[in-house]
Chains A and B, each alone.
Chain A
Amino acid sequence: MSVLTFIDIGLSILVVTVAASTIVMRELFAAVVSYVAYGLLLAFVWIRLHAPDVALTEAAVGGGVTGVLLITAGKRLVPLRRTATEAEPTLILKVLAATLAALVACALAAAILMLPDEPPSLAPEAAAAASGPGAGLGNPITAVLISYRSFDTMLEKIVLILAVVAVWSIGTDRAWGNAPAPLRQARPYPAMVFLAQALVPIGALIGIHIFWVGADAPGGAFQGGALLAAMWMMAMMAQLAEPSRIDARWLRLALVAGPAVFLVIGLAGILMAGSFFAYPPNLAKPIILFIETFMVLSIAVALPMLVAGPPNEGLEP
Chain B
Amino acid sequence: MREPLLAAAGLILLSVAAGLARVLRGPNDVERLMAVQLLSTGGVAALLLIAYATNVPGVDDVALGLALLTAFAAIAFVNLLEADEGGTGT
Contact = CB atoms under 8 A, between A and B. Distances in A.
Given A33-B32, A36-B36, A44-B47, A75 B73 contact: no
Given A37-B35, A55-B62, A68-B76, A7 B10 contact: yes
B interface secondary structure, majority = helix
A233 B76 contact: yes
A40 B84 CA distance: 26
Contacts of B47: 43-44, 47
Given A75-B84, A206-B64, A34 B69 contact: no
Contact of A75 (B51, B65, B83): B83
A4 B68 CA distance: 28
Contacts of B66: 40, 43, 59
Of the four ranges (under 10, 10 to 19, 20 to 34, 35 or more), the interface on chain A belongs to: 35 or more
A47 B79 contact: no
A254 to B, nearest CB: 20
A238 B82 CA distance: 13
Interface string A215-248: 0011100010001001101100110000000000
Contacts of B20: 18, 37
Given A10-B14, A72-B76, A187 B65 contact: no
A16 B90 CA distance: 40
B80 A30 contact: no
A218 B80 contact: no
Given A3-B7, A10-B10, A64-B73, A192 B78 contact: yes
B1 interface: no
Interface in B13-53: 13-14, 17, 20, 24, 29, 32-33, 35-36, 39, 43, 46-47, 50-51, 53
A67 interface: yes
A192 B56 CA distance: 34
26 contacts: A2-B3, A4-B54, A11-B13, A21-B24, A29-B29, A33-B32, A34-B24, A40-B70, A44-B50, A47-B47, A47-B62, A52-B57, A56-B62, A60-B69, A67-B73, A68-B76, A185-B83, A185-B87, A187-B90, A188-B79, A192-B78, A213-B61, A217-B57, A227-B68, A227-B69, A237-B75
